[in-house]
Each structure stands twice: as C-alpha cells, then as structure tokens.
Amino acid sequence: QSGSSFHVFDQGQFAKEVLPKYFKHNNMASFVRQLNMYGFRKVVHIEQGGLVKPEKDDTEFQHPYFIRGQEHLLENIKRKVTSVTSRMDNVTKLLTDIQVMKGKQESMDSKLIAMK
C-alpha cells in the first residue's frame, strides 16, 4: 500500500505462472536469490518475529530505490559485484604466489644442478 515494497501472495502460483514468462526457470528460491543480489530484502513484520512462519503465503520484498512513482530511481538498482571483485583479487594473489613459488623452484633446481 505504501508503494515501497511488493508482495508475492501465492509463491506456488507466482513460480508457476509469472516466473517462466520473465526467467528461464520457475524456481522461487532462485528468484529470491536474484532479488538479494540486487539488494532487495524480505520484509519481516514485528508480529511475525522473524522466527515463526506466517499463517498466510505472503512474502514482501523492499529496496530503497523501489518506490512507486519514482521510476528514475530504478537505474540505481544494480547487481552487487563485491564478491566477484573479491574472487578476482584472490585469483590474482594466487597467481602471484604460484609465480613466486615457480621462481623459487627454478632457483632450487639451478642450485641442485650446480651442487651435482
């Protein structure tokens, strides 16, 4: 009602009828994972306490830039890339470490040959 979130009232029907129209799957869990990657969060109401499963099949999602009538804000909803950047940093460090080890191995091989 406030225009700052959206509801999925029947996850089974949503997954069966809506998801295949816009995605290559009909898996609700995959859809929720995608929403999370774009910064959407599930809204948990105080009366639900976050621990008890709600009586009705109503899931609500919100994002700070998803506001009714504020279409210009939608361009700010972007996929998070921090984990990809972090992985690339780890790969770069790993390749550097391998190069250092390779250099040490070659040095040891040279010394071994000289000792023989």
**Count of residues in the chain:** 116
What's the order of all strands across the beta sheet hosting 41-42? Answer: 5-8, 59-62, 41-42
Distances 44 to 12, 14, 61, 74, 80 between C-alpha atoms, Å: 20, 20, 9, 23, 22
pLDDT of residue 51 exceeding 60: no
CATH topology of domain 1-78: Arc Repressor Mutant, subunit A (1.10.10)
**Predicted confidence band at 48 (pLDDT cuts at 50, 70, 90)?**
low
pTM over 0.75, yes/no: no
Q: What is the pLDDT of residue 50?
A: 54
Domain extents in the chain: 1-78, 81-115
Give residue-wise pLDDT tens across range 58-84.
899 999 999 999 999 999 999 887 666
**How far is Cα 66 from Cα 76, in angstroms, rounded to an integer?**
9
Q: What is the pLDDT of residue 49?
A: 57
